[in-house]
Amino acid sequence: MDLTPVADDPLVRRVKRLLEDMAPVAVAFSGGPDSSLLAVLAAGFLGDRAMALTVKAPQTPDSAYGPARELAASCGLRHEIISIPFVEDPKQDPGERCYLCQVKLFSRLIARGREQGFPRLADGSHRDDTPDGRPGLKTLRELGIRSPFQEADLGRQDLNELSERLGLPWTERAPFVCVLTRMPHTAAQGDNGRRLSETENWLRNRGFHPDRLRADGDTLRLVLPTSEWLRLEETEVRTGLAGKGWSGIGLEMDFLPKKPF
Protein backbone atom coordinates (compact mmCIF):
# COMPACT_ATOMS: atom_id res chain seq x y z
CA MET A 1 0.00 0.00 0.00
CA ASP A 2 1.27 3.47 -0.92
CA LEU A 3 2.12 5.47 2.22
CA THR A 4 3.01 8.64 0.30
CA PRO A 5 0.00 10.63 1.60
CA VAL A 6 1.29 10.36 5.18
CA ALA A 7 5.02 9.73 4.75
CA ASP A 8 6.04 13.29 5.68
CA ASP A 9 3.73 13.56 8.68
CA PRO A 10 5.83 14.11 11.85
CA LEU A 11 3.70 11.65 13.79
CA VAL A 12 4.11 8.97 11.14
CA ARG A 13 7.86 9.54 11.07
CA ARG A 14 7.92 8.87 14.80
CA VAL A 15 6.04 5.61 14.30
CA LYS A 16 8.38 4.66 11.46
CA ARG A 17 11.45 5.16 13.64
CA LEU A 18 9.90 3.06 16.39
CA LEU A 19 8.97 0.26 14.00
CA GLU A 20 12.44 0.22 12.48
CA ASP A 21 13.88 -0.01 15.99
CA MET A 22 11.63 -3.00 16.74
CA ALA A 23 12.17 -4.89 13.47
CA PRO A 24 11.77 -7.72 12.85
CA VAL A 25 8.42 -7.37 14.57
CA ALA A 26 5.07 -9.14 14.62
CA VAL A 27 1.88 -7.10 14.89
CA ALA A 28 -0.90 -8.32 17.17
CA PHE A 29 -3.61 -7.96 14.57
CA SER A 30 -7.28 -8.18 15.57
CA GLY A 31 -8.67 -6.76 12.33
CA GLY A 32 -10.01 -3.70 14.17
CA PRO A 33 -9.16 -0.14 13.08
CA ASP A 34 -6.15 0.45 15.34
CA SER A 35 -4.24 -2.75 14.71
CA SER A 36 -5.19 -2.51 11.02
CA LEU A 37 -3.52 0.88 10.67
CA LEU A 38 -0.45 -0.41 12.50
CA ALA A 39 -0.31 -3.43 10.20
CA VAL A 40 -0.49 -1.20 7.10
CA LEU A 41 2.33 1.03 8.36
CA ALA A 42 4.46 -1.96 9.38
CA ALA A 43 3.99 -3.56 5.97
CA GLY A 44 4.84 -0.34 4.15
CA PHE A 45 7.89 0.59 6.21
CA LEU A 46 9.33 -2.84 7.04
CA GLY A 47 8.28 -5.18 4.23
CA ASP A 48 9.21 -8.77 5.04
CA ARG A 49 10.65 -7.66 8.39
CA ALA A 50 7.05 -7.52 9.65
CA MET A 51 4.27 -10.06 9.95
CA ALA A 52 0.79 -10.07 11.46
CA LEU A 53 -0.57 -12.55 13.98
CA THR A 54 -4.28 -12.96 14.69
CA VAL A 55 -5.84 -15.00 17.48
CA LYS A 56 -8.92 -17.01 16.63
CA ALA A 57 -10.69 -17.81 19.89
CA PRO A 58 -14.28 -18.64 20.87
CA GLN A 59 -14.65 -15.31 22.68
CA THR A 60 -13.56 -13.28 19.63
CA PRO A 61 -16.26 -12.31 17.10
CA ASP A 62 -15.88 -14.31 13.88
CA SER A 63 -16.65 -11.11 11.95
CA ALA A 64 -13.09 -9.95 12.71
CA TYR A 65 -11.28 -12.56 10.62
CA GLY A 66 -12.49 -11.73 7.13
CA PRO A 67 -11.35 -8.08 7.24
CA ALA A 68 -8.02 -9.17 8.76
CA ARG A 69 -7.31 -11.62 5.92
CA GLU A 70 -8.33 -9.10 3.26
CA LEU A 71 -6.17 -6.33 4.65
CA ALA A 72 -3.06 -8.49 5.02
CA ALA A 73 -3.44 -9.72 1.44
CA SER A 74 -3.97 -6.21 0.08
CA CYS A 75 -0.71 -4.88 1.50
CA GLY A 76 1.37 -8.03 1.02
CA LEU A 77 1.79 -8.62 4.73
CA ARG A 78 2.60 -12.10 5.93
CA HIS A 79 -0.30 -13.17 8.11
CA GLU A 80 -1.11 -16.11 10.32
CA ILE A 81 -4.29 -16.89 12.24
CA ILE A 82 -3.71 -18.92 15.40
CA SER A 83 -6.61 -20.92 16.81
CA ILE A 84 -6.75 -21.38 20.56
CA PRO A 85 -9.36 -22.94 22.86
CA PHE A 86 -11.57 -20.98 25.22
CA VAL A 87 -9.46 -19.41 27.97
CA GLU A 88 -10.48 -21.10 31.21
CA ASP A 89 -8.84 -18.82 33.80
CA PRO A 90 -11.50 -16.06 33.68
CA LYS A 91 -14.00 -18.58 35.03
CA GLN A 92 -11.94 -18.93 38.19
CA ASP A 93 -11.40 -15.19 38.80
CA PRO A 94 -13.99 -13.25 36.79
CA GLY A 95 -12.96 -9.89 38.25
CA GLU A 96 -9.62 -10.22 36.46
CA ARG A 97 -10.95 -11.95 33.36
CA CYS A 98 -9.63 -9.43 30.81
CA TYR A 99 -6.14 -9.47 32.30
CA LEU A 100 -5.96 -13.26 32.69
CA CYS A 101 -7.33 -13.86 29.22
CA GLN A 102 -4.95 -11.43 27.54
CA VAL A 103 -1.95 -12.96 29.34
CA LYS A 104 -2.85 -16.25 27.66
CA LEU A 105 -3.56 -14.73 24.24
CA PHE A 106 -0.53 -12.45 24.03
CA SER A 107 1.81 -15.12 25.41
CA ARG A 108 0.71 -17.37 22.55
CA LEU A 109 1.34 -14.61 20.00
CA ILE A 110 4.78 -13.89 21.43
CA ALA A 111 5.72 -17.56 21.31
CA ARG A 112 4.53 -17.97 17.72
CA GLY A 113 6.27 -14.81 16.58
CA ARG A 114 9.56 -16.01 18.01
CA GLU A 115 9.11 -19.38 16.32
CA GLN A 116 8.80 -17.53 13.01
CA GLY A 117 11.83 -15.27 13.58
CA PHE A 118 10.00 -12.21 14.95
CA PRO A 119 11.23 -11.76 18.52
CA ARG A 120 9.18 -8.64 19.29
CA LEU A 121 5.44 -8.06 19.34
CA ALA A 122 3.66 -4.72 18.81
CA ASP A 123 0.04 -3.79 19.34
CA GLY A 124 -2.25 -0.92 18.30
CA SER A 125 -2.90 0.69 21.70
CA HIS A 126 -2.76 4.48 21.63
CA ARG A 127 -2.64 7.50 23.93
CA ASP A 128 -6.37 7.52 24.64
CA ASP A 129 -6.51 3.91 25.77
CA THR A 130 -6.72 3.81 29.56
CA PRO A 131 -6.61 0.98 32.13
CA ASP A 132 -10.19 1.81 33.13
CA GLY A 133 -11.42 1.29 29.59
CA ARG A 134 -9.13 -1.64 28.81
CA PRO A 135 -8.21 -3.62 31.95
CA GLY A 136 -6.01 -5.97 29.92
CA LEU A 137 -3.54 -3.18 29.11
CA LYS A 138 -1.25 -4.06 32.00
CA THR A 139 -0.55 -7.34 30.18
CA LEU A 140 1.33 -5.39 27.51
CA ARG A 141 3.78 -3.88 29.95
CA GLU A 142 4.33 -7.11 31.87
CA LEU A 143 5.07 -9.10 28.71
CA GLY A 144 7.24 -6.42 27.09
CA ILE A 145 4.85 -5.77 24.19
CA ARG A 146 5.48 -2.48 22.42
CA SER A 147 2.77 0.03 21.49
CA PRO A 148 4.20 2.32 18.76
CA PHE A 149 1.15 4.62 18.63
CA GLN A 150 1.24 5.17 22.36
CA GLU A 151 5.01 5.68 22.38
CA ALA A 152 4.70 8.20 19.55
CA ASP A 153 1.87 10.00 21.44
CA LEU A 154 -0.85 9.32 18.86
CA GLY A 155 -4.46 9.35 20.02
CA ARG A 156 -7.78 8.29 18.56
CA GLN A 157 -8.24 11.41 16.43
CA ASP A 158 -4.71 11.08 15.02
CA LEU A 159 -5.35 7.49 13.98
CA ASN A 160 -8.67 8.35 12.37
CA GLU A 161 -7.12 11.20 10.39
CA LEU A 162 -4.24 9.04 9.18
CA SER A 163 -6.65 6.31 8.11
CA GLU A 164 -8.72 8.85 6.17
CA ARG A 165 -5.66 10.27 4.41
CA LEU A 166 -4.61 6.78 3.38
CA GLY A 167 -8.10 6.09 2.09
CA LEU A 168 -8.53 3.12 4.37
CA PRO A 169 -12.09 1.75 4.43
CA TRP A 170 -12.38 1.07 8.14
CA THR A 171 -12.20 4.63 9.52
CA GLU A 172 -15.73 4.38 10.91
CA ARG A 173 -15.47 0.74 11.94
CA ALA A 174 -15.99 0.14 15.64
CA PRO A 175 -13.31 -1.86 17.43
CA PHE A 176 -14.05 -5.56 17.75
CA VAL A 177 -15.18 -6.34 21.28
CA CYS A 178 -14.70 -9.63 23.12
CA VAL A 179 -18.03 -11.34 23.73
CA LEU A 180 -17.18 -11.94 27.42
CA THR A 181 -17.36 -8.20 28.11
CA ARG A 182 -20.97 -8.29 26.92
CA MET A 183 -22.30 -10.45 29.72
CA PRO A 184 -22.15 -10.32 33.54
CA HIS A 185 -19.01 -11.75 35.17
CA THR A 186 -21.04 -14.57 36.71
CA ALA A 187 -22.19 -15.65 33.25
CA ALA A 188 -18.75 -15.59 31.61
CA GLN A 189 -18.52 -19.29 30.98
CA GLY A 190 -17.32 -20.97 27.81
CA ASP A 191 -20.74 -22.11 26.62
CA ASN A 192 -22.28 -18.68 27.14
CA GLY A 193 -19.49 -16.94 25.26
CA ARG A 194 -19.75 -19.38 22.39
CA ARG A 195 -23.54 -19.03 22.31
CA LEU A 196 -23.33 -15.25 22.00
CA SER A 197 -20.67 -15.44 19.27
CA GLU A 198 -22.59 -18.11 17.37
CA THR A 199 -25.79 -16.05 17.58
CA GLU A 200 -24.02 -13.00 16.19
CA ASN A 201 -22.69 -15.04 13.26
CA TRP A 202 -26.12 -16.65 12.73
CA LEU A 203 -27.80 -13.24 12.47
CA ARG A 204 -25.13 -11.85 10.12
CA ASN A 205 -25.47 -14.87 7.84
CA ARG A 206 -29.17 -14.04 7.51
CA GLY A 207 -28.61 -10.47 6.46
CA PHE A 208 -28.87 -8.75 9.85
CA HIS A 209 -26.37 -6.11 10.95
CA PRO A 210 -26.21 -6.47 14.74
CA ASP A 211 -24.02 -4.15 16.80
CA ARG A 212 -22.36 -5.86 19.75
CA LEU A 213 -24.92 -8.36 20.98
CA ARG A 214 -25.14 -8.56 24.76
CA ALA A 215 -26.47 -11.26 27.05
CA ASP A 216 -28.68 -10.53 30.07
CA GLY A 217 -29.44 -13.97 31.42
CA ASP A 218 -31.31 -15.71 28.62
CA THR A 219 -32.39 -12.40 27.11
CA LEU A 220 -30.53 -11.31 24.00
CA ARG A 221 -29.98 -7.55 23.80
CA LEU A 222 -28.91 -5.98 20.54
CA VAL A 223 -28.86 -2.86 18.42
CA LEU A 224 -30.20 -3.22 14.87
CA PRO A 225 -30.94 -0.75 12.08
CA THR A 226 -34.63 0.16 12.33
CA SER A 227 -35.20 -1.33 8.86
CA GLU A 228 -34.44 -4.77 10.34
CA TRP A 229 -36.64 -4.63 13.45
CA LEU A 230 -39.72 -6.21 11.90
CA ARG A 231 -37.69 -9.13 10.59
CA LEU A 232 -37.09 -10.22 14.20
CA GLU A 233 -40.78 -11.14 14.29
CA GLU A 234 -40.40 -13.67 11.48
CA THR A 235 -41.11 -17.20 12.63
CA GLU A 236 -37.83 -18.56 11.25
CA VAL A 237 -35.83 -15.95 13.16
CA ARG A 238 -37.74 -16.40 16.43
CA THR A 239 -37.45 -20.18 16.18
CA GLY A 240 -33.74 -19.99 15.38
CA LEU A 241 -32.98 -17.72 18.34
CA ALA A 242 -35.07 -19.83 20.69
CA GLY A 243 -33.15 -22.87 19.50
CA LYS A 244 -29.97 -21.20 20.71
CA GLY A 245 -31.43 -20.80 24.17
CA TRP A 246 -32.68 -17.20 24.06
CA SER A 247 -36.05 -16.80 25.73
CA GLY A 248 -36.39 -13.08 25.03
CA ILE A 249 -35.06 -10.34 22.77
CA GLY A 250 -34.40 -6.77 23.83
CA LEU A 251 -33.81 -4.02 21.27
CA GLU A 252 -31.64 -1.11 22.40
CA MET A 253 -31.40 2.31 20.79
CA ASP A 254 -28.09 2.96 19.08
CA PHE A 255 -27.67 6.35 20.77
CA LEU A 256 -27.63 4.81 24.27
CA PRO A 257 -24.21 3.96 25.75
CA LYS A 258 -23.44 0.25 25.74
CA LYS A 259 -21.19 -0.24 28.75
CA PRO A 260 -19.32 -3.52 29.29
CA PHE A 261 -20.42 -5.68 32.21
- pLDDT(37) > 70: yes
Q: What is the CATH number of domain 4-165?
A: 3.40.50.620
User: Alpha-carbon distance 258 to 211, whole Å?
Assistant: 10
Mean pLDDT is lowest, of 39-53, 164-178, 200-214, for 164-178
* Band of residue 85 on the pLDDT scale cut at 50, 70, 90: confident
Among 13-27, 214-228, 235-249, name the most confident range. Answer: 13-27
Q: Which is nearest to 42 in space by CA: 64, 63, 59, 19? A: 19
Q: Which is nearest to 229 in space by CA: 249, 214, 245, 243? A: 249
pLDDT of amino acid 97:
72
Mean model confidence pLDDT for the chain: 82
- pLDDT(180) > 90: no
pLDDT of amino acid 16:
97
pLDDT of amino acid 197:
77
CA dihedral defined by 92, 179, 98, 256, rounded to 10 degrees? Answer: -120
pTM of the model: 0.77
- pLDDT(29) > 70: yes
- pLDDT(99) > 90: no
- pLDDT(156) > 80: yes
3-state secondary structure 139-171: HHHHHCCECHHHHCCCCHHHHHHHHHHCCCCCC
Q: Are 68 and 54 in contact (CB under 8 A)?
A: yes
User: Alpha-carbon distance 172 to 248, whole Å?
Assistant: 31
pLDDT of amino acid 256:
42
Q: Break the chain into its structural domains and give their ranges.
A: 4-165, 179-251
pLDDT of amino acid 127:
93
Mean pLDDT on 115-127: 96
Mean pLDDT on 37-60: 91
User: Alpha-carbon distance 238 to 220, whole Å?
Assistant: 12
Q: Which residue has the higher pLDDT, 129 or 159?
A: 159
pLDDT of amino acid 132:
65
Q: Which is nearest to 182 in space by CA: 56, 59, 8? A: 59
Q: What is the DSSP string of 191-257?
A: HHHHHHHHHHHHHHHTT---EEEEEETTEEEEE--GGGTGGGGSHHHHHHHHHTT--EEEE--TTS-
